[in-house]
Structure 1
Amino acid sequence: MTLRKVVSRWIDHYLSDEEALLLLVLLVVGFATVIWLGKMLAPFLTALVIAFLLQGAVNAMTRRKVPHLVAVFTVYLAFISVMLALALVLVPLIWNQMASLVQEAPRMFASGQRMLDELQARYPQFITPDLVQHWIGVLSQEATQLSQRIVTLSLASLGNVLSLIVYLVLVPILVFFLLKDRERLTGFLGSLLPARRELMTRVWKEMDGQIANYVRGKAIEIVIVGVVSFFTFMFFGLPYSALLAVVVGLSVLVPYIGAAVATLPVAAVAGFHFGLGDQFLYVLVAYGVLQALDGNVLVPVLFSEAVNLHPVSIILAVLFFGGIWGFWGVFFAIPLATLLKALVYAWPRGIKQRSMAKLPEGP
């Protein structure tokens, strides 16, 4: 069989249906729009995610016979209040701790050198002087790069104050109208699609609830892990507790990899502050228990309705979509992987079912 026949048969199988071809065009246009216009559409994407988070609360209130507009205003005002509280309390605290961490970096670096010397003295057969010097060089290089990134970020932030203000104004406005006019907007988008859209309806129904549940569940997981981490670090008297808690909370965005990466700053701060003693081990054990509870208790409860994906599929999705879209790609890696899985299962099956339905019945 020639390559031309193989390609022709594949096109006849998957793209001979008009709806399947339209769905492919919509997917390509959607992905291309996000890739090329992602930065421009960032306020809308952020507002869309927040609207997904808040829509569950609006639906819960409307099910209790609360008028839709009253539910929207109540949930929206609660959201604005929480954002203001975070901006006035959490952001200054994290900024102060970050500034303090930068000032303490030289002393922590010197403490790290002493710890390496102690390890070399205790275990000379495993840790040679050349290896210690190599580690010191790596730590020095990483510290220099971190300082440069912080300075660059600060200078860039000073130059984008106006953009940040516009961003903070647009996002709340978009969130309000996405909540208020949700039915009108979805109805308008539906009117642009053809009347015959069984395949698109099948894929949308499978993805709609799962994406909403994933976004809300991931936000709840970030808050719970961050808050529990903060109080755990505060209990042990670990410095920079708020900053480390934010790092640990955001680490749940990247499955498997995030937990391993977040362990490094927690272990480094604990080692520099407590030394390699019992208190250091207690902090690591508590952090390990927290990660175990998150992976084995919290995640199954929050994402029990999600489609099961193999860990290899999740890691590949994080690497691929994160490389394309950065933060948003990492955040939506699992829903996008689920979308691809739904398309793989629904596309040929839906076309085949419609083809069978068109066949005339026998005598």
Structure 2
Amino acid sequence: MSLSAGQRAGLVVGAYASSPTAQGWDPAVESGYLAGLAEVAGIRGLELPWLEALHPHDEPWLLAALPCRWQVVLTSVGYTVAAVARDPRHGLASEDDRGRRAAVANAAAMLAGVRRLNDSAGDAAVIAVELQASPGPHPRSSAGAAALAASLTEIGAWDWEGAAVLLEHCDALVPGQAHAKGFLPLGDEIAAIRMSGADVGIAVNWGRSAIELRSSSLVLEHVQEARDAGVLRGLMFSGVADRPSAYGEAWADAHLPFSPHPGAADAAAYAEPASMLTVPLARSALAEAGELLYSGIKFAWRPADASVEGRVEMIRRSVGLLTAASA
């Protein structure tokens, strides 16, 4: 897979999904987790969650703890899901002006966070921000894409200090089908980008596309659609199961790791048998995607009381598998 100008080799890891402190903040434990990840070959940087700050508990701690060589992708998905739960009118694609303006204001707060992180790193550490096209489409209107375009026109005009502005495609609202996020369809997101005239791209999350399409093989259609539109910039791998598992109910957006890969050492020890995400499927998606700004993994890990060492080892093996798949 070729690298664009200025891209560093390696993968972006959404390590917060498997953090040992997800259920209770402990800076000493999290420091050990980051130290372990810093020793993993092939990690380019982290996908960090934006929750109205760069860290949900201690932003100064995060700025001091991040290895200076790591690059960052900042995603607002956690904020967006919580905001829509509080107010279904919230979002960049909202036809309600107050809800749309609130989402734009959050993007402005993210921009301030990008600047704080870059200032702390002494470099343009943030390579991308991932925004989401919430809320879901109104059943009696098709104006969501136009509302999203208006938001992107404004946001795309800001100085993001070199960070790419991306829409992270989440599973779209499909009539008669239970959803995890239920936001805009990929076609509407692409149409909004074109209408906006802004330099905005798309990031595809493998698991969320599988949830929407109820298929592992059809995820390639989303990759191809975004690629053919000339907007595909990021590809993150996150697994999903079509049956209940230790990670939750069927089709939950629970970030399952790879399914066991034949031939890998201890194939089942750091994998999830219920996961639909296989290494060959990841290889196919990367081949279809072509040149990207970044790719990576976002995997959770069970049991909830798993050791820091076990979590780091799962990520190490997963990074190794995906690195080999992309070669």
Q: Give TM-score scaled by structure 2 length.
A: 0.26
* Structure exhibiting the larger radius of gyration computed from Cα positions: 1
TM-score (norm 1): 0.24
